[in-house]
């Protein structure tokens, strides 16, 4: 005689339709089906959020599976385990009885196990004459066999989602790092571009990210950041290519200049013609301005080349570039340079280089017919990248050094002549001595 298998829980526990569905699925499994129990447990652990299981309930499920002696769960063998609460507590790392009962209920609700309660609610097994179990009351593990494929698919989906989330996080992190550093490079290197607009767009995109964001939101923000990255990268790449092209052109120009033994030096090597060539509109347009030093001129060097500007400074002292620019602004009206010409030079060259240009013009005022027209000419050339203040200052320095050398040579020659006259006696001193002798003879003093 076979005892009726219970389908409802013992005591005051209610019966639900979901539990009936779980029992129906377990009853329909093929008896030849065999599932590795620990692989099934790993799939359930991986997909626990989708299934609705908790960490504590999985610890209890692990304990229940350990009471099944075989490594596989098969429809042919018995799938009901019947450990007592004390045995489960020991294998579940000593959790309390109340916690155990609560999480056993979670396993039943999730459809991972089925209660097969005895009439009095105890868990036990009744064996037959041959020692085989005829009837067992406890927890039926058949739902794990029936839903093994489902658990495997859920675990694969969770792993794929986790991988996609990790990849989009990496993508987002790299985009954020690249954009921030490329914008900083563009600002620090003064690359032409609307960097503030890029920074505003970046901050707006990143501002949409909450502390915990879904993969879909991360992908949307990452797509937006990649668009910003592409624009910034293209702008920097274009600038780098243009710099490489300019460098190649400069190298070619230097090679052509140096390879011509009959070529005459430009305004950088001819002090006497430096300012005229800078002002001449017929100056060669292929002057290699890019080969000049990129650093700014030292203030001391400029003052050595243009000492006349000191007369325009308050107290005849210039200690800073601000004092230098102020002195140039005071010198401008005396040179006949209009305010508009000065402002245009400041906008194109910058205040310091415009002031250097004024000081150089003041130093050689006698060589320039129209100071205002000359300044406008240099401003136009600076706008086209064909003018630098370096040649002007260096030409003035060389001119001053040459003049000082000539003056020193003249003084040395004068001293040498005087010394020679002192040693040998000059013709003039001899004539005076002879006249004095004749006078003394006429007066009878001789």
Q: Quick check: pTM over 0.85?
A: no
pLDDT at position 275, please? Answer: 45
The Cβ of residue 235 has, within 10 Å, a number of other Cβ atoms equal to 18
Closest CA to 61 of 154, 151, 153: 151
Domain ranges of the chain: 17-146, 165-254, 271-401
Locate tokens 């003018």: which residue? Answer: 387
Mean pLDDT in each 10-residue stretch from start to end of the chain (446 residues)? 52 60 64 86 93 91 90 80 89 88 89 82 75 78 88 94 94 93 87 87 92 91 93 87 58 43 37 42 45 69 87 83 89 87 90 92 85 90 87 85 74 59 47 50 48
Q: Which fold has domain 17-146?
A: Arc Repressor Mutant, subunit A (1.10.10)
Q: What Rg value do the Cα atoms of the chain yield, rounded? A: 50
């Amino acid at each position: 005689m076979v005892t009726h298998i219970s389908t409802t829980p013992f005591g005051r526990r209610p019966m639900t339709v979901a539990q009936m569905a779980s029992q129906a699925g377990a009853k329909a499994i093929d008896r030849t089906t065999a599932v590795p129990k620990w692989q099934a447990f790993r799939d359930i652990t991986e997909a626990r959020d989708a299934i609705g299981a908790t960490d504590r309930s999985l610890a209890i499920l692990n304990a229940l599976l350990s009471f099944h002696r075989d490594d596989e769960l098969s429809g042919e063998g018995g799938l009901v385990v019947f450990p007592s609460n004390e045995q489960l507590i020991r294998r579940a790392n000593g959790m309390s009885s109340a916690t155990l009962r609560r999480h056993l209920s979670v396993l039943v609700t999730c459809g991972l196990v089925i209660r097969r309660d005895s009439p009095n609610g105890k868990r036990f097994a009744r064996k037959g004459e041959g020692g085989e179990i005829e009837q067992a009351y406890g927890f039926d593990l058949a739902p794990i066999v029936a839903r093994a494929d489902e658990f495997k698919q859920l675990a694969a989906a969770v792993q794929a989602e986790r991988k996609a989330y990790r990849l989009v996080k990496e993508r987002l992190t790299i985009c954020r790092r690249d954009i921030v550093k490329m914008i900083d490079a563009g600002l620090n290197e003064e690359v032409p571009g609307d960097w503030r607009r890029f920074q505003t767009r970046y901050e707006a995109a990143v501002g949409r990210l909450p502390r915990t964001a879904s993969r879909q939101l991360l992908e949307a923000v990452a797509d937006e950041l990649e668009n910003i990255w592409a624009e910034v990268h293209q702008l920097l790449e274009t600038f780098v290519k243009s710099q490489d092209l300019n460098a190649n052109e400069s190298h070619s120009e230097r090679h052509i200049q140096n390879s011509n033994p009959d070529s005459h030096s430009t305004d950088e090597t001819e002090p006497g013609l430096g300012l005229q060539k800078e002002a001449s509109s017929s100056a060669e347009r292929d002057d290699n301005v890019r080969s000049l030093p990129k650093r700014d001129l030292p203030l001391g060097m400029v003052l050595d080349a243009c000492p006349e500007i000191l007369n325009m400074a308050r107290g005849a002292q210039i200690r800073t570039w601000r004092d230098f620019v102020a002195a140039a602004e005071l010198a401008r009206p005396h040179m006949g340079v209009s305010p508009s010409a000065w402002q245009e030079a400041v906008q194109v060259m910058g205040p310091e280089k415009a002031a250097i240009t004024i000081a150089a013009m003041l130093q050689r005022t006698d060589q320039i017919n129209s100071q205002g027209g000359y300044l406008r000419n240099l401003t136009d050339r600076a706008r086209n990248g064909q003018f630098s203040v370096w040649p002007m200052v260096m030409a003035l320095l060389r001119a001053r050094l040459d003049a000082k050398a000539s003056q020193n040579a003249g003084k040395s020659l004068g001293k040498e002549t005087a010394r020679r006259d002192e040693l040998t006696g000059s013709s003039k001193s001899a004539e005076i001595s002879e006249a004095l002798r004749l006078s003394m003879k006429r007066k009878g003093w001789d």
